[in-house]
Structure formats: C-alpha cells, structure tokens
Copies of this chain bind each other. A is one copy, B any other.
C-alpha cells in the first residue's frame, strides 16, 4: 500500500470512528458529516473526498457492524468448538446478546428500522447479513448431521407450503445444508431476536427484573426444544 493510501485509510477509519462515537452519544440520527469534519479540523465538504454521501458513510458502518457481529460469533464458536454442542451453542447465543448490549448503535444499524432518510443499499448489505447467521447454522449442522441428534418434534407437522428459501450466498457457503437445519435455526433466531430487541430498545423496561437471567433461561428452553 502506498504511503498516500495508508494515510487515506487512517482518515477513513477516523471518520468512521467519530461517526460511531457521535451516534453513541446522540442516537443514529445525530450523525453529522459537518460536525465530524469540524472535529477533525477540516472543513465540511472535505469529507466528501472520503464518503460520497451521508448514506455512503452509513452503509459502510452497517457493513462493518455486520462483520463485527459475525466475527464475534465466529470467534466464540471457534473457542468452544471442542465442547459439547449444547455448550458451544449456548456460548454463541450469549455472545449474541452480549454484543448487542455492548454495541447498541451497531446493533441498531443492523436490525433497527431504516435510518433517517437512509435508503438502504441492499445490494451491499444483504450478502453480509448471511455471515451473522452462518456460525449458528454451522453448530446446528454439527448437531443434526455429524452427531445425528434427532430432529425436534416441531418439525413433524409442518405445512408443505412452508419452505425455506436459501439465499444464493448461503447455498455457496454450505451446499449440503438441509432445509430442516435452516428452519430450526430460523426458529431459534426469531425467538432470541425478539428478546434482545425489546430489551435493547427499552420497551419492556419494567417487566423483567433480570434480563440476563431471563435470556439464559429462554435459551436453555430453546435448546431443550431443539433436542440439544
């Protein structure tokens, strides 16, 4: 990498870092290119040398958030790969919640409603989204294919029109992935997603005294249902 490219990269990183900081303080909407530039000691329009628009910056942040979450999950999965499958999955699911609480802004960027005026570029963000789901699928695959755990009973009476649509990227990632495994993954993901969203955005505030314990309890129940 040339000297110039290196400095450019540093600048880009600083912009993204400040953007995150700004959002952490004032919410996702408080992002202001102008303010970032000013804070970095340069004039507003200069930022447009690095990001084409506000939306472009947001898109970059979203992609990074996806990757960071995926990495966190993968790392946990790798660290506990030699443990029993249930223990491994538990740790991954705990990491999921932990990451969401530790990075609320990034989590909002990923799963929140579309940002102020930001018209999402799905072409950019969609492929990355699969990465988050991948580590969980991998663990489930291990359980049901390698270790031959019996499939959960709730798979038995599924209506025939209910089919899983595997995205192209997911097909590439794991061509041998049975739809049943994906279905189980989806069920589990939806379940924990609701909990985390409601906890994170404070819509349940006073309902549960100890969200962490509640979450733990629910994932145990979930894994029971999964025969893990």
Contact between chains at B213 and A116 (CB < 8 Å):
no
B113 touches A154 (CB 8 A): no
Q: In chain B, what residue has the closest Cβ to A167?
A: B206
Chain A binding surface, main DSSP class: helix
Q: Which of A195-212 contact B (CB under 8 A)?
A: 195, 197-198, 201, 203-210
Given the known interface contacts A129-B203, A161-B209, A209-B163, the answer about A193 and B186 at a Cβ–Cβ threshold of 8 Å is: no
Whether B164 pairs with A208 at a CB distance below 8 angstroms is yes
Task: Tell me the bound Cα distance from A115 to B214 in angstroms.
Answer: 28
For A163, A182, A194, A195, the residue with the greatest tally of chain B CB atoms inside 10 Å of its CB is: A194
Other than the given A28-B114, A162-B217, 9 more pairs (CB < 8 A) read: A27-B114, A111-B197, A112-B112, A113-B113, A162-B210, A190-B198, A190-B218, A191-B191, A191-B194
22 contacts between A and B (CB under 8 A): A26-B117, A27-B113, A27-B116, A28-B114, A30-B117, A111-B197, A111-B201, A113-B201, A116-B116, A126-B205, A129-B203, A159-B217, A163-B209, A165-B208, A165-B209, A166-B206, A167-B206, A167-B207, A190-B218, A192-B194, A193-B197, A197-B197
